[in-house]
Amino acid sequence: MNAQQKWTAYYTILIREVLRFSRIWIQTILPPVITTALYFIIFGNLIGPAIGEMHGFSYMEFIVPGLIMMAVITNSYANVVSSFYGSKFQGNIAEMLVSPVPNWIILAGFVSGGIARGMAVGVAVTLVSLIFSKLYIEHLWVMFTIGLLTSTLFSLAGLINGVYAKSFDDISIVPTFVLTPLTYLGGVFYSITMLPEIWQKISLLNPVLYMVNGFRYGVLGIADLPIWISYLIILGFIFILASFSLYLLNRGIGTRT
């Protein structure tokens, strides 16, 4: 395939993925926005005044970046795992893999669709946050790149889950038992400086912590960890998951019957 044909293949997959979630935006975009609004009301307005300030910001202002990142993570992951497994269930992915389209183009198309949904939900949640709190953006480039890289990472993770899933029930196992605990324990609602020393060290094993802190640094200009470590962790996981995803597609693992 020449460059134009590769671009057409990638663009076709991307457009299909974008149309897939945008046509049913009431099911894909609206629910996470409503859920996050409830977090703002319950944790920000009701519990926040009792907690007070964190690092010089109100509790509402402190949790806004974490809630935005949580929405980006869950929706990037959900979009790819459901789309890839659906394509596998219907037999579409097998047709793609036997076509002249390189596997890395297929991978890029699905991941880009996950990024599109994750970032769309992130923007929607950000706009809703303006109703409840002032939005500080200290480092716009850091905010954007951390959000984009995190969305890429969890889109790749969703594809891997989709490869190994054997039923529709399997696509909910990882989000329920892995993704949700990591997200809630990733510093979304608190600073790790509030934890005992032993739990601070344990928290450092949670990769979501670095993403939330990196994004919070971009928005508020504060973080519990150096920003370069956040970039290093995220890029390292992207490289590992991208390589593994491509390996799975090349070998046809989970896609060939």
pLDDT digits (tens, 9 = 90+) for 84-137: 988 888 878 878 878 888 999 999 999 999 999 999 999 999 999 988 888 878
**Backbone angles phi and psi of 54, in degrees to 5:** -135, 120
Token duo for residue 81:
């795992």
Judged against a pLDDT cut of 80, whether residue 228 lies above it is answered with yes
Strand partners, 54: 57
Q: How far is residue 221's CA from residue 234's CA, in Å, rounded to a whole number?
A: 19
Please report the pLDDT score of residue 127 as a whole number. 93
- Percent over 90 (pLDDT), the chain: 56
- The angle at the Cα of 51, spanning 124 to 131, to the nearest 5 degrees, equals 25
Q: How far apart are CA 112 and CA 118, in angstroms?
A: 10
- Can you give the pLDDT at residue 41? 85
Euclidean distance between the first and final Cα of the chain, in Å?
A: 27
pTM for this predicted structure: 0.93
pLDDT(44) > 90: no
Q: Tell me, what's the pLDDT at 256?
A: 66
